[in-house]
């Protein structure tokens, strides 16, 4: 998918995020890739993480000049290392975008405990790990943005939820 994002500039010709550095978790495809494109178009230096989609990550990095970092959001140490690497590579961190997430489309009674644990590791613990690590680098005016989903408040239908007492 090659979505073009136009650059926004002020009347003085300065892009709104010139001089800022951002890290986007889960930035190799979908909404994450669009966020990377927007941030770079607006002037930010951007790093992003990807778990396994190296080919897609290389495409996004090549198109935007961003830094792709392989880091699974379920891995606490990998997330912390990605934050540190971003701050060291660019000389700081101003924006963290928590975008990485997974889900399984199945009735709750079909989920295994391992699948549940992985969802929690990526979607909850991974966000905590990134925020905790980023806090040490974010200065005055730093921003943390966490992307959510309708999955957070709408469970998939299941036969158990349709039963009546």
Mean pLDDT, 10 residues at a time, the chain of 165 residues: 54 84 97 98 98 97 98 98 98 98 88 94 97 95 90 58 45
Give residue 2's pLDDT.
Answer: 44
Give residue 10's pLDDT.
Answer: 59
pTM: 0.85
Contact between 144 and 96 (Cβ < 8 Å): yes
Please give the sequence-ordered ranges of beta strands (E in DSSP) within 9-132, or none if there are none.
Answer: 21-24, 45-50, 67-70, 93-98
Question: What dihedral angle (degrees, nearest 10) is formed by the CA atoms of 157, 102, 95, 61?
Answer: -130
Alpha-carbon distance of 77 to 133, in angstroms, equals 10
Q: What is the DSSP secondary structure assignment for residue 51, as one 8-state letter?
A: S
Alpha-carbon distance of 165 to 151, in angstroms, equals 26
For 117, the token pair is 């644990």
> Which residue's structure tokens are 């990377």?
36
> Which residue's structure tokens are 């405990």?
113
Contact between 55 and 78 (Cβ < 8 Å): no
Give residue 59's pLDDT.
Answer: 98
Phi, psi for 146 (deg, rounded to 5): -120, 120
């Amino acid at each position: 998918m090659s979505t073009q994002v136009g650059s926004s500039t002020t009347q003085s010709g300065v892009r709104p995020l010139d001089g800022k550095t951002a890290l986007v978790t889960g930035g190799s495809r979908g909404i994450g890739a669009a966020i990377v494109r927007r941030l770079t178009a607006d002037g930010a230096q951007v790093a992003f993480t990807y778990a396994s989609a190296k080919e897609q990550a290389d495409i996004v990095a090549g198109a935007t000049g961003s830094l792709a970092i392989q880091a699974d959001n379920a891995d606490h140490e990998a997330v912390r290392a990605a934050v540190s690497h971003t701050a060291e590579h660019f000389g700081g961190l101003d924006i963290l975008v928590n975008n990485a997430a997974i889900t399984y489309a199945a009735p709750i009674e079909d989920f295994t405990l391992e699948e549940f644990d992985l969802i929690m590791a990526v979607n909850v613990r991974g966000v905590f790990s990134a925020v905790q690590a980023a806090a040490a680098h974010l200065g005055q005016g730093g921003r943390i943005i966490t992307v959510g989903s309708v999955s957070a408040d709408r469970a998939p239908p299941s036969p158990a939820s349709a039963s009546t007492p």
